[in-house]
Amino acid sequence: MNGPDSIVIVGGGHAGAQLCASLATSHQGVRIDLVCEEADLPYHRPPLSKSYVKHPEETPQLHRSAAWYAQAGIRVHQADPAIAIDRHARTLRLRSGATLHYQWLVLATGTRARQLPHLHADLDNVLVLRNAADALRLREQLPAMQHLMVLGGGFIGLEVAATAQALGKQVRVLEAAPRLLMRSASAELAAHVLQSHRASGIEVQLGATVDDFRIEANRLVSLRVNGVQQPVDQLLLGIGALPEMTLAEVAGLECGNGIAVDASMRTSDPAILAIGDCALFPGLRASGALRLESVQNANDQAKVAAATMLDQPQTYQAVPWFWTEQGSLRIQMAGLLPKNGSCWRRPGKDETSFSLLHYEQGELRCVESVNAPADHMGARKLLEAGVSPAAERACDPALALRSLATPDG
């Protein structure tokens, strides 16, 4: 078996960092370059909307130290983004002018925050949250802020809303859809989240459409929401993220809502792989192409990409899982929500904890747990084992666990 001689990874996020870790143990003599747009070494993104915003002394949590990369023989190019791929010559050009030759190229470029035309983070009091620089800006502006308006009731917007509220700020969330977490959680879970945030003092306006806005001296002064002017002190845009696929598109790789890959993470050019938030991959059970934004997906796709390059191909079929922390809610999700499923509520150890089990045609597809980590871990095991206990039995923890041993359960 011939191993690769040069691997270039574009993007020092979760997927890029995990790929370095997977290759470090087995690469033996391969030249590895990690090309980073950001100045920091790869760091954990989830704390940025959670503990980092609350604690002024906290620094980004690195995946690995500079010494680790040096010892693993991985060359890290910091603050030097890739700007062009030459597929014919198999080279990658960096902004500094450096050119790297590759045998394998891996695109792990993640996403960028969605912004609105004329209403973006160049304004003094408008923020987005994708990276450590954004989080630092938010943290520095928080002390002087009286009121935070959050546009978008998705995970990141709600996490920041809960944090700001806990720090004593007045918080208002504007969501255009008729409910929160429209793209990512069930209606049952969204209703609980709404009730919990409102009870803690966060104002949430659903069906809120921004018709107009006023900007003076590079500051957003007000938003007109459903025809009514609302003054703005500080605004966080939490309206989702777009896959970063400029390099791939310019290089002529097949793209849709992400860089198209097969189950081994190969793009339409077999020498180029894509992983993590930017990758559009074949979903399980003919569910169509999927793009997921989660740490689990980034880590597991990186492991599959490493196997592909080391000539030990695997098929990506990991059970998706995700978590979010919003005030007193620790929400964990395993599996994918079915389009037309039935939902069972399993009570937890007290009134603040429960799980929602989503079934489709008798098969367990997804479990959403609120303050119930044991249920979440059990759900992941059941979904990984492909075991679907009958709904009534799954609502009993002892029976659900027993059904792991008896797959016909």
Ligand X SMILES: Cc1cc2nc3c(=O)[nH]c(=O)nc-3n(C[C@H](O)[C@H](O)[C@H](O)COP(=O)(O)OP(=O)(O)OC[C@H]3O[C@@H](n4cnc5c(N)ncnc54)[C@H](O)[C@@H]3O)c2cc1C
94 vs 190 by CB, closer to ligand X: 94
- Write the CB contacts of 185 (distance below 8 Å, at least 6 apart in sequence): 193, 331, 333, 337, 368
CB of 95 to ligand X, least distance (A): 8
Residue 375 engages ligand X in binding (rule: CB under 6 A): no
CB of 154 to ligand X, least distance (A): 11
List 125, 294, 353, 403, residue binding ligand X (CB under 6 A): 294
| Cα–Cα distance measured from residue 370 to residue 376, given in angstroms and rounded to the nearest whole number | 9
Residue 244 engages ligand X in binding (rule: CB under 6 A): yes
185 vs 387 by CB, closer to ligand X: 185
Residue 130 engages ligand X in binding (rule: CB under 6 A): yes
Total binding residues for ligand X by CB under 6 A?
35
Q: Which of residues 155-184 bind ligand X (CB under 6 A)?
A: 156
- Answer yes or no: are the C-beta atoms of 111 and 277 closer than 8 Å: yes
Q: Is 406 left (phi over 0), alpha (psi -120 to 50) or beta?
A: beta
Query: H or E stretch including 221?
Result: strand 219-225
CB of 16 to ligand X, least distance (A): 6
CB of 362 to ligand X, least distance (A): 29
The pair phi, psi for residue 276, each rounded to 5°, is 85, -155
Q: Which of residues 47-76 bind ligand X (CB under 6 A)?
A: 48-49
List 60, 110, 154, 238, residue binding ligand X (CB under 6 A): 110
Residue 300 engages ligand X in binding (rule: CB under 6 A): no
Residues shown for the chain: 409
CB of 238 to ligand X, least distance (A): 10
Residue 372 engages ligand X in binding (rule: CB under 6 A): no
Give bridge partners of residue 210 from the DSSP assignment: 225
Q: What is the DSSP letter of 5?
A: S
156 vs 400 by CB, closer to ligand X: 156
Nearest partner of 235 among 206, 199, 210, judged by Cα: 210
Q: What is the DSSP letter of 339?
A: T
Q: Which span (141-149, 219-227, 231-239, 288-296) binds ligand X, by CB under 6 A?
A: 288-296
From residue 334 to residue 363, what is the string marking binding to ligand X with x (rule CB under 6 A)?
Answer: ------------------------------
Render 86-142 in DSSP notation, one character per residue: ETTTTEEEETTS-EEE-SEEEE---EEE--BTTBSTTSTTEE--SSHHHHHHHHHHT
Strands of the sheet containing 219-225, edge to edge, are: 210-216, 219-225, 228-231
From residue 11 to residue 50, what is the string marking binding to ligand X with x (rule CB under 6 A)?
Answer: xxxxxx------------------xxxx------xx-xx-
138 vs 204 by CB, closer to ligand X: 138
- Write the CB contacts of 405 (distance below 8 Å, at least 6 apart in sequence): none
Q: What is the DSSP letter of 368?
A: E
232 vs 279 by CB, closer to ligand X: 279
Residues binding ligand X (CB under 6 A): 10-16, 35-38, 45-46, 48-49, 81-82, 108-111, 129-130, 156, 244, 247, 276-277, 293-295, 298, 322-324
